Every structure is written in C-alpha cells, then in structure tokens.
Amino acid sequence: MNKNAIRELLVPILQDAGIFYLRDTVAESDFVAGVWDIELTELEIDSLSAMELCIGLEVEWGLTVLPEDLNRLSTLGQLVDRVEKYCEQTV
C-alpha cells in the first residue's frame, strides 16, 4: 500500500475520531497527495480523539498504536510512514 492510499484512508479515520482539521477540501487533497504535511499539535487531539484514532488504525490496518505513541510523533506524515512500514512487514 502506497503513502497516498494510506493518507486517503487516514482522512475518514481522523474525522471519525472527531479530528476535523482536514474538512477544507484543499487541505485534504494536498495532504492525500503528499504535498502538505500536518503537525500533530495543529490537530489539537484530545485524549478521547487519540484513543479513537488508535482504534481506527487498528480496525483499518491491524496496527496497534497506543495514545502515548502518538505523542512521540511530530506529524501525520510520520504516522503514515509508520502505517506503511507496518503494511510492508505484514505482506
């Protein structure tokens, strides 16, 4: 699975977690295309949203990420990299 596909699947997971930063269609298309990365601090993720994001990652890809693991990441791009690496290892 390539990064653009991961980014595309990540957008609804973020929205389901109550993280609506990418509601702007330009921001969403730039993120999915990989031309714009987003600092996690910009998303203002609270503890409930973090937990829901982690659940979404596990449901979609089987990847277990703890909420405290999200704190170690700086950008959504780093999260995409982690998902990509996981997908490569499980194929």
Domain ranges in the chain? Answer: 3-90
Q: How confident is the model at residue 82 (pLDDT cuts 50, 70, 90)?
A: very high
Rounded alpha-carbon distances, angstroms, from residue 49 to 5, 29, 35, 57: 22, 22, 25, 12
pLDDT at 24: 78
Tell me the CATH class for 3-90: mainly alpha
For residues 16-49, one letter each, b for 16 or more C-beta atoms within 10 angstroms of the residue's C-beta and e for the rest, the string is ebebebbeeeeebeebbeeeeebebeebebeeeb
Question: Looking at the DSSP assignment, which residues form a beta bridge with residue 75?
Answer: 39
Rounded to 10°, the helix 76-90/3-16 angle is 120
The pLDDT tens digits for 17-65 are 999 888 878 888 999 999 999 999 999 899 999 999 999 999 999 999 9
